[in-house]
A = this chain, B = another copy of it.
Amino acid sequence: MFKGLSAFPLTPFIDGSPDEKGFLRILRRLTEAKVDSLGVLGSTGSYAYMTREQRGRIARLAVENAGNIPVMVCVGAVSTDEVLRLADDAQAAGAGALLLPPVSYQALHDDEVYGLFETVARHASVPLCVYDNPGTTHFTFSDELHGKIAALPGVHSIKIPGVPADAEAASARVRNLRNRLPSDVTIGISGDSSAATGLIAGCEVWYSVCGGLFPAVAKKITEAAAAGDHTAVRAQNERLSPLWALFGQHGGSFRVISAAAGLLGLTDVNCLPRPLLPLRADQLNEVRRVISDLELA
C-alpha cells in the first residue's frame, strides 16, 4: 500500500466535534477516484485536535467506507502509552497500516524517538510508516536515525516533509536517504508543492493533502510519475502552481483545503477545530477563484 497516491482527507469539524457526514462526503470523492490508499487522521485529518474516542470513530468510518482501498491511520500522540492505545484502536477498526509521527512536548532526543518506534513496531501487527514532519512535531530526523528506524521489522515507508526545489539536490536528498534504507522500505513525499520534484527524484508514494480533496488532479501526477513521463509530471505540477502558492500564503495546505472543502459544499465553510479560525472573506474569495480557474470542483 506504500505506492502511488495516498490521499489524506480532512476531518472537518462542526460545533466542536468531528463532522462525520462531511468526512464521508470527502471520503466518497476519494473512493470514486480509486486512489491507491487512504491516510486518515493525519495532520490535515485533525488528529491532534481529537479525543481517542473521536479518532476511533473516524478510523472505523474510514475503513467501513473505503471499499477495497487500504486505510492507513495516524496514531500520533505525545505519550508512548497513548500511541499504543491508539494503535490498538486503529487495528481493531481494520487499519491496514499505522502512520507514526514523533509528536513532542519536551524536545525529544534521537534515542527517545528510536525507542518510541521500536516499542510501537513491536506492539503493532500491521505495517508502520514513519511520519517525518518537523513543522508540527518539532523533531528533526537525521538520515542515520531514519536508517536505524527503517531497519525495525514492521517499518515499511517513510513520509518525508519535502525535498529541495532544485532537481539535482532533490535527487541527491532522496538517494542519500535511500542508501540508508532496506530495499523494501519506500520513501513518500508530502508537502504537496514539492511532490512532483520528489516523485521525479525517486519517491514511490505521494502522501497527499491535495489528493485528499482533489484526487483526480493528484492521480494524474502519480500516474505520470509511475509511467516515467516526467514531462507530464512537471506540466501537471506547473498547472497547479496557483494552489501551491495559496498553501504557501497560509502556512501549509491545512487551512486552504479546509476552506476549499467548505466552498465545494462538502463541509461547513468554518470546519476547522477550535482554536483555529476560518479564512477571512477576501481569502476565501481567492481560494474560490483558484478552484474555479484550475477546474478543481
Contact with B along A42-67 (1 / 0, CB 8 A): 01000011111000000000000000
B138–A79 contact, CB under 8 A? no
Known contacts A136-B105, A252-B106, A254-B106; is-contact A79 B49 (Cβ 8 Å)? yes
Whether the Cβ atoms of B79 and A112 lie closer than 8 Å is: no
A227 within 8 A of B: no
Asked whether B79 lies within 8 Å of A115 as measured between CB atoms, the reply is no
Q: What separation, in Å, do the CA atoms of A255 and B105 have in the docked complex?
A: 13
CB < 8 Å neighbour of A115 from B49, B113, B277 = B277
The A3-30 residues at the B interface (CB cut-off 8 A) are: 16-17
- B-chain residues with CB within 8 Å of residue A270 when the two chains form the complex: none
Flag A96-111 by CB within 8 Å of B: 1 or 0 each: 0000001001111101
B108 and A275 form a contact (CB under 8 A): yes
A273 touches B16 (CB 8 A): no
Whether a CB of chain B sits under 8 angstroms from the CB of A289 is no
Q: Does A276 interact with chain B (Cβ within 8 Å)?
A: yes
Which of A50, A52, A106 has the most chain B CB atoms closer than 10 A to its own CB? A106
Structural contact, B251 and A105, CB atoms closer than 8 A: no
Question: CA separation between A175 and B180, bound complex, in Å?
Answer: 53
Residue on B with the closest CB to A252? Answer: B106
Counting CB contacts under 8 A, is A81 at the interface?
A: yes
- The answer on a CB contact under 8 Å between A276 and B112 is yes
